[in-house]
Amino acid sequence: VQLKRNVQRLWWRRFVTEREDMVGMDAAIVTHPTIWKAAGHVDNFVDPLMECSACHTRVRPDKAIEEATGTAPDSALTLEQLGLAAQRANVTCPKCGLRAFSAPRHFNLLCRTSFGQQGEEAFLRPETAQGIFVNFAAIVGTVRRALPFGVAQIGKAFRNEISPRNFLFRTREFDQMEIEFFCEPSEASTHFARWVSDYHAWLMAMGLRPDSLRLVEYERSRLAHYAAATTDIEFHFPFGWGELMGIANRTDHDLRQHSAACGRELKFQDPRNPQRAPFFPHVIEPSIGLDRLVFALLCDAYHEETYRAANGESAQRLVLRLHPELAPVRFAVLPLVKNNEDLVSKARKLAHDLRLAASPFEHVVEFDASGSIGKRYRRFDEIGTPFCVTVDHESLRDDAVTVYERDTQQQVRLGVDELLRVARRGGGDFSSASTRAP
């Protein structure tokens, strides 16, 4: 949970609060069917599905073909062609092992629910995006922005996925971090290219390796019903390359569709040019799944390493090299031994003071007194804690502590007041901080 929160916090900071052209919003999850009819999801938000005639297990033929052959079938194949391709690929039922499937048909991924006294039909949103479009008039009426400007939102999305799998990669309930960036129609392709490169750079700054990422530009036949251009940023997951996020040029599709459905023109009046007639801005949409990003960050941070231990022998460790800003536990405070009252209470007090110092940054501090210091270091390496702070007998006299850095395994001696000062700044580059004389 803390890792997810840290990713969200950094995303919000990078794409909302550090920019002058972004605002945030929080729209409804349970939504009226008219929204999804207008957006095209009722008719087009479908995946192919075939059913095992023996045990009725439902399978996505395109994914099953990819698993059986190692290559994804052309997304432009008709349902009939997909059925034939599944036969050629010898796709078998994952449950009973038979090869007797119904002909593929379309399956709509919207999750239905009911709402209100009469139990009226409603949908759980499959993306956060539409909440931004249907609130467009309220947003422009409130935030007083000129184009271009973007609206950012983080929230739950639900899809009735046919085959949820691969850990966090495909689930039926997940979080999205989406931006709808409204711009002049003539500038849409420039903004599109900028968002692709900004996101690529941000993902690497978050800790993903350049060779784990690739950009995939969609051919026309693969584009979603709303998009004029799409580039996916794919990540090399343990099961192969998969979509981490997409950047789409949605043109004015959504605003036009909702305008037609609600009978109110969701147009933009240029505040810098009142003579100009209101018009539909175009939209660039970078959309990323929070859970998929967490999964990717965990994959690239995971390292099994050999290192030279203090006794000169080679040893193994498992270390999660998460960026310090992402690490779920930022500081671990460790009394050297657990049966010395003075050490334990000094360490507890330091953990408390560090918590207060680090709380504006949502940095978690843990106290751990059990096991040898070496074992505790390994435990915190495994969960990616960048700094372990040991309180020893000397600390009782000189008010200094030993800070162990996860990545370098270096240890530096630091005064408690200096440690708290660094924590208050949200920093943590202790190897370059001066070690204070007692």
Instruction: Decide if residue 166 touches ligand GAP (CB under 6 A).
Output: no
> CB of 293: closest distance to ligand GAP in angstroms?
7
**Are 172 and 111 within 8 A, CB to CB?**
yes
Orientation of helix 61-69 relative to helix 79-88, angle to 10°: 30
DSSP string, 404-426: EETTT--EEEEEHHHHHHHHHTT
Question: Judged by CB under 6 A, how many residues of this single chain contact ligand GAP?
Answer: 19
What is the DSSP track for 48-110? Answer: EEEEBTTT--EE-HHHHHHHHHSSPPPTT--HHHHHHHHHHTT---TTT----BPPPEEEE-P
Residue 176 is a binding residue for ligand GAP (CB under 6 A): yes
Interface segment toward ligand GAP; rule CB under 6 A; list 170-178, 200-208, 270-278, 302-310: 170-178
Between CA 227 and CA 230, with CA 229 as vertex, the angle to 5 degrees is 90
> Which one among 7, 288, 389, 416 touches ligand GAP, defined by CB under 6 A?
288
Comparing CB distances to ligand GAP, the nearer of 243 and 265 is 243
One of 51, 62, 291, 300 touching ligand GAP (CB under 6 A): 291
Q: Binder to ligand GAP among 129, 336, 389, 401 (CB under 6 A)? A: 129
C-beta of 27: minimal distance to ligand GAP in Å? Answer: 13
- Cβ proximity to ligand GAP: between 24 and 426 the closer is 24
Task: Judge contact between 350 and 333, C-beta under 8 A.
Answer: yes
Q: Considering only residues 159, 200, 355, 363, which one is a binding residue for ligand GAP as defined by CB under 6 A?
A: 159
Separation between Cα atoms, residue 38 and residue 321, nearest integer Å? 45
The correct pick among 47, 51, 67, 178 for binding ligand GAP (CB under 6 A) is 178
Q: Does 170 bind ligand GAP (CB under 6 A)?
A: yes
The tokens 């050490």 sit on which residue?
343
Q: What is the DSSP secondary-structure string of 19-48?
A: -SSEEE----SEE-HHHHHHHTHHHH-EEE
Instruction: Annotate each residue in 220-259 with x if it binds ligand GAP (CB under 6 A) or - if it does not, as one string.
Output: -----------------------xxxx-------------
Q: 348 near 312, Cβ under 8 Å?
A: no
- Per rule CB under 6 A, is residue 127 in the interface with ligand GAP? yes
The window from 56-64, 173-181, 311-319, 348-356 that contacts ligand GAP (CB under 6 A) reads: 173-181
Taking CB under 6 A as the criterion, the residue among 73, 155, 281, 289 binding ligand GAP is: 289
Beta pairing, strands 229-237 & 240-251: antiparallel
Q: Is 163 in the site for ligand GAP (CB under 6 A)?
A: no
Burial of 393 (0-12, 13-18, 19+ CB in 10 A): exposed
| Interaction between residue 41 and ligand GAP (CB under 6 A) | no
- Interface residues with ligand GAP (CB under 6 A) are 127, 129, 159, 161, 170-171, 174, 176, 178, 243-246, 285, 287-289, 291-292
